[in-house]
Amino acid sequence: MNIKALPLLQLTAESLMISSEKVAHVQLNNPLEHALLILVKSGYSAVPVLDIQYRFKGIIGKNTILNEILGLERFELERLSDITVERVMITNTPCLNKSDHFLTCLKAVMDHPFVCVVNQEGYFDGIVTRREILKQLNKYIHVNKDLFYDGR
């Protein structure tokens, strides 16, 4: 689909998303040690959690992991290999469908840096990021600059 040819409000999550094969993720049964490795190596603060069938299950971030292993006086690093991602991931995050329109995506990324796109059966399609939404808004404002001046 040619994303540039569509008016802003007709853009869908499908045309805005980073598709699943390009998204760093971890799996439910991975130990926190592996999740932290993926997060540090990829440079992302948080990534989606999938089951072995690639269904979306939650989100795990560096902060959640560090909080989990924070003891009274030190980080208890030895606990990283004992705890699974499933035990500490965040599960109450909103999701999008491929057919959701721009305004729904915009609302979703106001409170979240990225939102996962899933199909009816819960399979993971990709993510819509705050960056992509801001890019589209920036383009729209530049192309339609005249609309934003009051004529003075």
The Cα–Cα gap between 70 and 77 comes to 9
Q: Which one of the spans 20-28, 69-77, 96-104, 140-148 is the region binding ligand 4BW (CB under 6 A)?
A: 20-28
* Burial (CB count within 10 angstroms: exposed 0-12, middle 13-18, buried 19+), residue 85: buried
Q: Which is nearer to ligand 4BW, 16 or 47 (CB)?
A: 47
* Amino acid identity, position 17: M
Least separation in angstroms between residue 29's CB and ligand 4BW is 19
Tokens of 133: 């939404």
Among 87, 131, 135, 139, binds ligand 4BW (CB under 6 A): 131
Q: Is 23 in the site for ligand 4BW (CB under 6 A)?
A: yes
Q: Is 18 in the site for ligand 4BW (CB under 6 A)?
A: yes
Count of residues near ligand 4BW by CB under 6 A? 15
Q: For residue 81, how many other CB atoms are within 10 A of its CB?
A: 11
Least separation in angstroms between residue 145's CB and ligand 4BW is 24
Nearest to 90 by CA among 120, 114, 58, 67: 58
Tokens of 29: 């049964």
The Cα–Cα gap between 103 and 97 comes to 13
Q: Is 124 in the site for ligand 4BW (CB under 6 A)?
A: no
Among 114, 116, 124, 126, binds ligand 4BW (CB under 6 A): 114
Q: Is 46 in the site for ligand 4BW (CB under 6 A)?
A: yes
The Cα–Cα gap between 45 and 38 comes to 10
Q: Is 4 in the site for ligand 4BW (CB under 6 A)?
A: no
Q: Which residues bind ligand 4BW (CB under 6 A)?
A: 18, 22-24, 43-47, 113-114, 127, 129-131
